[in-house]
């Protein structure tokens, strides 16, 4: 992990493009709490056509945006924002942040904070009044990162594969 901080002006956040899909998939796999794959296995998995097919579905959704963070033209981070309408609190919209990952060699440089700040501003611009995210219980550094940004661990999450 790097100790040198980068200036926010060095980071560009933009919607992901189809040509970013392999790098995005790689960043997600590198950030997985139970990551045991070799670099060659990650590269082979990231080339699977299902990732581009999934990207096409996300890109077609008006309520979902996949973003990448770039520094010096290289994709070093990714996150997805989903806007969710609701009935609670007089119809308050919420934003869900998913797949927030920074390249291992760029962690600790402030990239994640830039990404989350951008994501919050984006969510607010779409009418969201609340932001939520989940993080694997094993990702203790990520939990500390989110708490330092002001997130509250207010709920216990559950999931089931169907």
pLDDT tens, position by position, 78-129: 999 999 999 999 889 999 999 999 999 999 999 999 999 999 999 999 999 9
- Domain membership of residue 45 (yes or no) is yes
Cβ distance 58 to 66 under 8 Å?
A: yes
Please state, for a pLDDT cut of 90, what percent of the chain lies above it. Answer: 80
Give the other-Cβ count within 10 Å of 82's Cβ: 18
Q: What is the rounded distance in angstroms from the CA atom of residue 151 to the CA atom of residue 160?
A: 24
- pTM, two decimal places: 0.92
- Domain membership of residue 94 (yes or no) is yes
Domain with 127, as residue range(s), is 8-148
Domain CATH code at residue 69: 3.40.630.30
Q: What is the rounded distance in angstroms from the CA atom of residue 131 to the CA atom of residue 82?
A: 10
- Domain membership of residue 160 (yes or no) is no
Overall domain count for the chain = 1
Q: Is the CA virtual torsion 109, 100, 89, 160 positive or negative? A: negative
- Domain membership of residue 1 (yes or no) is no
Q: What is the rounded distance in angstroms from the CA atom of residue 8 to the CA atom of residue 121?
A: 15
């Amino acid at each position: 992990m790097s100790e040198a901080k980068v200036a926010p002006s060095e980071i560009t956040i933009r919607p992901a493009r189809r040509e970013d899909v392999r790098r995005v998939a790689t960043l997600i796999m590198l950030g997985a709490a139970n990551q045991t794959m070799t670099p060659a296995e990650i590269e082979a998995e990231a080339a699977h056509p299902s990732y581009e097919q999934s990207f096409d579905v996300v890109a077609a959704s008006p309520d979902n945006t996949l973003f990448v963070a770039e520094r010096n033209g290289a994709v070093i981070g990714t996150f997805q924002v989903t806007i969710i309408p609701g009935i609670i609190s007089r119809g308050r919209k919420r934003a869900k942040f998913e797949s927030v990952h920074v390249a291992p060699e760029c962690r600790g440089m402030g990239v994640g904070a830039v990404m989350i700040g951008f994501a919050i501003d984006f969510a607010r611009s779409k009418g969201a009044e609340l932001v939520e995210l989940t993080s694997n219980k094993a990702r203790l550094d990520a939990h500390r990162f989110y708490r330092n940004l002001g997130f509250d661990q207010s709920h216990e999450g559950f999931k089931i594969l169907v």
